[in-house]
């Protein structure tokens, strides 16, 4: 974090929704993904990012929408940087809350955003209102009303789609490798071990995996560990214990990757989410 960059993050205790307002100049963060649905609004400047194999530029008033697992980065292409506010919505919470607005979900499906960037003033206003009510700790009824308004505006940008594991565009070997990483992500996995588990040589595996998920296996494993670290830290788990449990060499090793992906240290993230001092 430089003198010109800043992050203000909090977590709503009732819903688990994280609210983040931040400003970046130049390079903001490396390619990474989240377990949450991201709904954000650019306040100032140009927010440039790559997602869904395309480059996007979000300018003031535009809403950016990212699904869990979608790889994205961030940078400021112009002087003055960019400022944005964002909500991290838990997938289970979002699906449950939208149950009253959508018909029953088709089998083996999940909610998906129709586009990554939207010019929708009503959605932008609803996002800002929800952010303010949660971030500033408004009365419970005010927070709930603001979230209901956000959900109502989001319905026009959401649809049901088949889950990734049933997507015929992704080779079976890439799915097997991803499942293996999710099941053994805390271990010191070698590329040879992963390729043997998938029944192909490591060169074919790496090509297939990157084509399917946008990252080579080793980088995906790091992102998987970081996503799990966020969940554990948000629950108040000590930073050093989280690093060891997830297979990082030590706390500073996890910290370096965490800052590159999210722009703040694990200890600061834990403190903002739990109000607990680092342990």
- Give the least confident one: 35-44, 133-142, 167-176: 167-176
CB 88 within 8 A of CB 17: yes
**pLDDT band per the 50, 70, 90 thresholds, residue 250:** very high
- Is pLDDT at 62 greater than 60 in this prediction? yes
β-pair type (63-66, 109-113): unpaired
**pLDDT band per the 50, 70, 90 thresholds, residue 95:** confident
- Give the least confident one: 106-120, 134-148, 171-185, 254-268: 106-120
Span between the terminal Cα atoms of the chain, in Å:
21
Residue pLDDT, tens place only, 192-237: 999 999 998 988 899 999 988 888 999 999 999 999 999 999 999 9
Q: Can you tell me the distance from the alpha carbon of 29 to that of 26, in angstroms, rounded to the nearest whole number?
A: 10
CB 237 within 8 A of CB 277: no
Per-residue model confidence (pLDDT) at position 161: 67
Residue 84 bridge partners (DSSP): 22, 42
Burial 20-40 (b: 16+ CB within 10 A, else e): bbbbbbeebbbbbbbebbbbb
* Mean pLDDT of the chain, nearest integer: 90
Taking the domains of the chain in order of start, what are their residue ranges?
6-164, 168-274
Q: Can you tell me the distance from the alpha carbon of 46 to that of 249, in angstroms, rounded to the nearest whole number?
A: 37
Per-residue model confidence (pLDDT) at position 103: 61
Per-residue model confidence (pLDDT) at position 182: 94
- Is pLDDT at 114 greater than 60 in this prediction? yes
Q: Can you tell me the distance from the alpha carbon of 274 to that of 19, in angstroms, rounded to the nearest whole number?
A: 13
Per-residue model confidence (pLDDT) at position 277: 63
Sign of CA dihedral 234, 238, 239, 244: negative
Q: Can you tell me the distance from the alpha carbon of 30 to that of 212, in angstroms, rounded to the nearest whole number?
A: 19
- Give the least confident one: 131-140, 163-172, 204-213: 163-172
Contacts of 125 by beta carbon, 8 Å cutoff, 6+ apart: none
Residue of 23, 70, 69, 75 lying closest to 49 (CA atoms): 75
Q: Can you tell me the distance from the alpha carbon of 65 to that of 32, in angstroms, rounded to the nearest whole number?
A: 15
For the domain made up of 168-274, give the CATH fold: Arc Repressor Mutant, subunit A (1.10.10)
Per-residue model confidence (pLDDT) at position 170: 59
- The average pLDDT across 172-185 equals 92
State both tokens at 272. Answer: 């903002």
Give percent of the chain with pLDDT exceeding 90.
74
Superfamily the domain 6-164 falls into: Jelly Rolls (2.60.120.10)
Residue pLDDT, tens place only, 10-54: 999 899 999 999 999 999 999 999 999 999 999 999 999 999 989
Per-residue model confidence (pLDDT) at position 172: 86
- Is pLDDT at 243 greater than 80 in this prediction? yes
């Amino acid at each position: 974090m430089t003198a010109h960059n800043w992050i203000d993050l909090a977590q709503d205790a009732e819903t688990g929704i994280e609210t983040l307002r931040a400003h970046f100049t130049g390079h903001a963060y490396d390619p990474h993904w989240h377990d949450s649905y991201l709904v954000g609004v650019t306040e100032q400047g140009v927010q440039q990012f790559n997602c869904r194999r395309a480059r996007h530029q979000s300018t003031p008033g535009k809403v950016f929408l990212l699904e869990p697992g979608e790889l994205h980065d961030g940078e400021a292409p112009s002087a003055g940087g960019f400022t944005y506010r964002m909500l991290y919505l838990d997938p289970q919470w979002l699906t449950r809350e939208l149950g009253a607005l959508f018909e029953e979900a088709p089998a083996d499906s999940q909610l998906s955003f129709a586009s990554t960037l939207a010019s929708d003033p009503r959605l932008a206003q609803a996002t800002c209102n929800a952010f303010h009510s949660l971030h500033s700790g408004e009365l419970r009824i005010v927070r709930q009303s603001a979230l209901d308004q956000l959900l109502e505006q989001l319905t026009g940008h959401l649809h049901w789609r088949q889950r990734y594991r049933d997507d015929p565009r992704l080779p079976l070997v890439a799915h097997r490798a991803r499942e293996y990483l999710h099941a053994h992500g805390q271990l010191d996995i070698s590329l040879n071990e992963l390729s043997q588990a998938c029944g192909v040589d490591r060169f074919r595996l790496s090509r297939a995996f990157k084509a399917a998920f946008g990252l080579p296996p080793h980088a995906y494993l790091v992102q998987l560990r970081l996503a799990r670290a966020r969940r554990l830290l948000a629950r108040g788990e000590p930073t050093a214990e989280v690093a060891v449990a997830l297979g990082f060499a030590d706390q500073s090793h996890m910290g370096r990757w965490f800052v590159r992906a999210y722009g703040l240290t694990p200890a600061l993230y834990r403190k903002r989410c739990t109000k607990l001092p680092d342990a």
